[in-house]
Amino acid sequence: MKKTFLVLTVLFLSFSTVDAQDWTKYKSEDLAFVATFPKEPKRTVQKVNTAVGELDMHMIMHAPVEGDDNAIYSIIRSDYPEAQFKDADDDYNSGVLDGAVEGAVKNVQGKLVYDNKVKFNGYPGRSIKIKMQDGFIYINAYLVENPMFITQVICLTDKDKNASIQRFLNSFEIIKTKQN
């Protein structure tokens, strides 16, 4: 009995250590955030046309090829014009976040499962889940003055609610960087 317990303990500790070591800390001073990804993510920038003009959409993404419960892990940062948020109040910020939620649902032709208002380091945000064909998208969106941060995980339907979803979403932190 002791031998079986010892073997199970060693196996558990071995798997726990491998799981903890597999994830990579990603820090971006210029985008002012840190998060952990299952593997090293790739960074790209796209110009997108919006109602307030053309914005740079910075995307940091990891798309596992195999051996993962999720299809995509990503963080997006877009900076809206500062003037747009000069006198922004809670209602205005809520409207901006409403637009982000509606846009996300529409872009994937999905169905909103939930939309929870949240605060992140005192900033307004949303935690949403969208059902799309063959899967789900989990999104946390935070409006940090004029930048918006979006963290998201996409999983197949049969992998819904896996532990890596919250592990990634909960790893996101905003960092302060010195402004010149």
CATH code of residue 142? 3.40.1000.10
Residue 17 is assigned to a structural domain of this protein: no
User: What span, in angstroms and rounded, lies between the C-alpha atoms of 35 and 44?
Assistant: 16
Q: Which residue has the tokens 């930048």?
A: 147
Cα–Cα distances (Å) from 79 to 47, 62, 153, 155, in that order, read 11, 22, 21, 27
Answer yes or no: is pLDDT of 8 > 80: no
**Chain mean position to CA 108:** 16
Residue 163 is assigned to a structural domain of this protein: yes
Phi, psi of 22 (to 5 degrees): -65, -25
Q: What pLDDT digit, counting tens, does each position of 24-55 carry?
A: 999 999 999 999 999 999 999 999 988 778 99
What is the DSSP secondary-structure string of the chain?
-HHHHHHHHHHHHHHHHHHHHH-EEEEETTTTEEEEESS--EEEEEEEEETTEEEEEEEEEE--SSS-SEEEEEEEEEEPPGGGGTT--HHHHHHHHHHHHHHHHHHTT-EEEEEEEEEETTEEEEEEEEEETTEEEEEEEEE-SSEEEEEEEEEEGGGTT-HHHHHHHHH-EE------
Range of the domain at 57: 24-174
Residue 4 is assigned to a structural domain of this protein: no
- Compute the mean pLDDT over every residue in the chain, rounded to the nearest whole number: 88
The total number of residues shown for the chain amounts to 180
Q: What pLDDT digit, counting tens, does each position of 66-107 carry?
A: 999 999 999 999 999 999 999 999 999 999 999 999 999 999
Residue 133 is assigned to a structural domain of this protein: yes
**Chain mean position to CA 112:** 17
Mean pLDDT, residues 54-71 = 95
User: What span, in angstroms and rounded, lies between the C-alpha atoms of 106 and 100?
Assistant: 10
Residue 150 is assigned to a structural domain of this protein: yes
Q: How many CB atoms lie within 10 A of CB 20?
A: 8
Tally of domains in the chain: 1
Amino acid at 58: H
* pTM over 0.95, yes/no: no
Answer yes or no: is pLDDT of 20 > 60: no
User: What span, in angstroms and rounded, lies between the C-alpha atoms of 33 and 55?
Assistant: 19
Residue 84 is assigned to a structural domain of this protein: yes
